[in-house]
Amino acid sequence: MNILETEALGRRYGGTWALRDCSLAIPEGHLVALVGPNGAGKTTLLNILVGLTGATTGNVSVLGGIPVGSPAALDAIAFVAQDMPLYRHLTVADTLHLTRNLNHDFDGAYARARLRDLGIAEKHRAGKLSGGQQAQLALTLALARHPRLLVLDEPTAPLDPLARHDFMATVMAAMAEDGLSVILSSHGLAELERVADYLVLIAHGVVRLDAPVDDLVARHRVVTGPVGEQNDPRWQVVESTAAGAQQHLLVRLQGPNDHVPDGWESRAAGVEELALAYLRESSVPTPLVPVEASR
Amino acid sequence: MAGSPIAFRLDPASGVPTYLQLVQQVEHALVLGYLKPGDQLPKVREAVADLAINPNTVLKAYRELEHKGLASGRPGQGTFVQAGLSQATLPELAGLRRALLEWLADAEAAGLDANAVSAVFASTLRDFSERREAESPRGARKVRGRTAGGAA
């Protein structure tokens, strides 16, 4: 089952396309990192996915074909927005009461137990909690609905390293316990290798990568060799850096064979390195050739 | 029943993929005797909550250990050590150490210091595993996994 499927999805604000021709098919059971520069269309895609805004063109469905924004989709998806939306003047206890009354299924016992484990007292006002505690409270409210899909828009950006670690640990533990899928937008590329097992990269409103991390790593190599030599025709160069004598290329392999010519070296590309290369690509990207189709 | 005798710890600077670090830590714990057959590996939920890593990464590491015949999953309970690396291969290990000592003496005679020895070993090991992976990505694992399969 696909947790999210889009086909030629687009969203225009006035004369500007925030998202163009976005086609994705993301299977369930992953933590999907949604990566891209500011203004790439990440938040627009997430807002469409959770039903906060409509699409201008194209089709989108969630959880194996359910229309976005439908009651079934709203019940199964939990969303924590970028700015950790909490009513600052409500106490934690009042926040729990409010959330229980606003949602179909809300596991109050689960939420209380989690907040107790985190040492967050119910008598405090939400606005008086530390940034890390506010994030944990927002996350607890989302998880207590026992969603099948958790959507997080840059959740750890304002957090210090320890709070960030604790936040992600909570997300991961929920994933291990409940088998939920997670889609998370983030600028934290260094964290990618540890947290994400599926990568979607959007640049200039267009999807550039949409695949399991293991597949991406297997399909790319960093090759190093002398300047001026003919590149192997099986290499699709994503990024190249050259000095007087030597050049480094990050290449997408067109086939399973990663043989390099004499005088060249080849090594695996890291996830962060790979994501950076695609982010740096020119605004007129080369068309992607699926690996299967070329062989 | 108590939890696992070992806990995982990641080295973010190692450059080794996370799942492989977990596999290697179990193998090292087996060689060093921290883990014995029948011992439980850290529960996925615990490992994930400790390290803030993706549960699929832990599952991938445990699948790899099962492929190698070192661990087996018990539904609803967790993953347990199936075969001890150290006791099954102790005489072999001694032989390998002897051969390595001879090689180290040769390396010293050739003028290599400890750093140079490490570099030669690391690059040869990398070439060796890359070549083997290119030849038969699945086959190599299965052969190794087979011997320990019947031990439980």
* pLDDT value of position B146: 39
Pairs across A and B, CB distance < 8 A: 50
Q: Which of B49, B50, B52 sits opposite A194 (nearest CB)?
A: B52
How far apart CA B21 and CA B13 sit, in angstroms, is 12
A26 class by beta-carbon count within 10 Å (0-12 exposed, 13-18 middle, 19+ buried): buried
> What was the pLDDT predicted at B140?
42
In chain A, which residue's Cα lies nearest the Cα of B18? A194
The pLDDT tens digits of the residues spanning B88-115 come to 466 777 788 889 899 999 999 999 988 8
pLDDT digit string (tens) for B15-48? Answer: 788 999 999 999 999 888 889 899 999 999 999 9
- Dihedrals φ, ψ of A266, to 5°? -140, 140
Mark which of A157, A184, A203 sits at the end of a domain.
Answer: A203
Does any domain span residue A209? no
Q: Length of chain A, please?
A: 295
Cα-Cα-Cα-Cα torsion B34, A174, A119, A189, nearest 10 degrees, comes to 80
Structure tokens at A164: 């960030």
User: b/e for A212-249, b at 16 or more Cβ within 10 A?
Assistant: bbeebbbbbbbbebeeeeebbebbbebbeeeeeeebeb
Domain boundary pick from A177, A203, A229: A203
Q: Which of residues 85-144 of B touch A (CB under 8 A)?
A: 134
What pLDDT is recorded for position B144?
A: 42
d(CA A283, CA A81): 28
Residue type, A121: A
What top-level class would CATH report for the domain B18-148? mainly alpha
**Least confident range of A18-32, A199-213, A251-265:** A251-265
Whole-number pLDDT of residue B89: 62
Asked if the C-beta of B54 comes within 8 angstroms of chain A's C-beta atoms, the answer is yes
Interface mutation vs chain A, best among B20, B45, B54, most A CBs within 10 Å:
B54
* Whether the predicted pLDDT of B151 surpasses 80: no
Residues B48, A31: C-beta atoms closer than 8 Å: no
Task: Report pLDDT for A230.
Answer: 65
Contacts of B17 in chain A (CB under 8 A): 193
Is A292 a residue whose pLDDT tops 70? no
Residues A124 and A166 in one domain: yes
Non-local CB neighbours of A56 within 8 Å, separated by 6+ positions:
A10, A11, A12
Whether residues A31 and A137 fall in one domain: yes
Query: Residue A188: pLDDT band by 50, 70, 90 thresholds?
Result: confident
Contact A175 B54 (CB under 8 A): yes
Based on the domain organization, do A124 and A261 belong to the same domain?
A: no
B57 touches chain A (CB under 8 A): yes
Residue spans of the domains in chain B: they are 18-148
What does the pLDDT read at residue B134?
A: 77
pLDDT band at B121 (very low <50, low <70, confident <90, very high): confident
Q: Do B56 and A258 touch (CB under 8 A)?
A: no
Lowest mean pLDDT among A200-209, A276-285, B53-62: A276-285
**Whole-angstrom Cα distance, residue A202 to residue A39?**
10
A85 pLDDT band, cuts 50/70/90, is confident
Q: Which of A203, A229, A247 is the last residue of a domain?
A: A203
Give the closest of B15, B48, B56 to A173, CB-based.
B48
The range of the structural domain enclosing residue A274 comes to 214-294
Whether A289 has a pLDDT exceeding 50, the answer reads no
Contact B54 A29 (CB under 8 A): no
The residues on A that touch B, with CB distances below 8 Å, are: 29-31, 165-166, 168-170, 172-173, 175-177, 193-197, 258, 270
Choose among B10, B18, B45: nearest Cβ to A176: B45
pLDDT band at A193 (very low <50, low <70, confident <90, very high): confident
- Mode of pairing for the β-strands spanning A206-212 and A198-203: antiparallel
User: What is the model's pLDDT at position B85?
Assistant: 63
**Is A117 in the same domain as A233?**
no
Pick the residue with more confidence: A291 or A147?
A147
Mean pLDDT of A28-56: 92
Kindly tell me if the per-residue pLDDT of A232 is higher than 70: yes
Residues A123 and A235 in one domain: no
Helix spans in chain A (H): 42-49, 71-76, 92-102, 108-118, 131-143, 161-178, 189-195, 213-219, 271-280, 291-294
A chain contacts of residue B50, beta-carbon cutoff 8 Å? 169
The label of the residue with tokens 């687009």 reads A10
- Average pLDDT rounded to a whole number, residues A195-204: 92
Q: How far off is chain B from A265, nearest CA to CA, in Å? A: 11
Residue A216: per-residue pLDDT? 92
Rounded Cα distance between B145 and A273, Å, is 33
- The mean pLDDT of chain A is 87
Number of structural domains in chain A: 2
More confident residue, B14 or A201: A201
Considering only CB atoms, A195 lies closest to which of B15, B50, B54, namely B54
pTM of the full predicted structure?
0.79
CB contact under 8 A, B55 and A270: no
Distance from CA of A194 to the nearest CA of B (A): 5
Please tell me whether residues A135 and A239 are part of one structural domain.
no
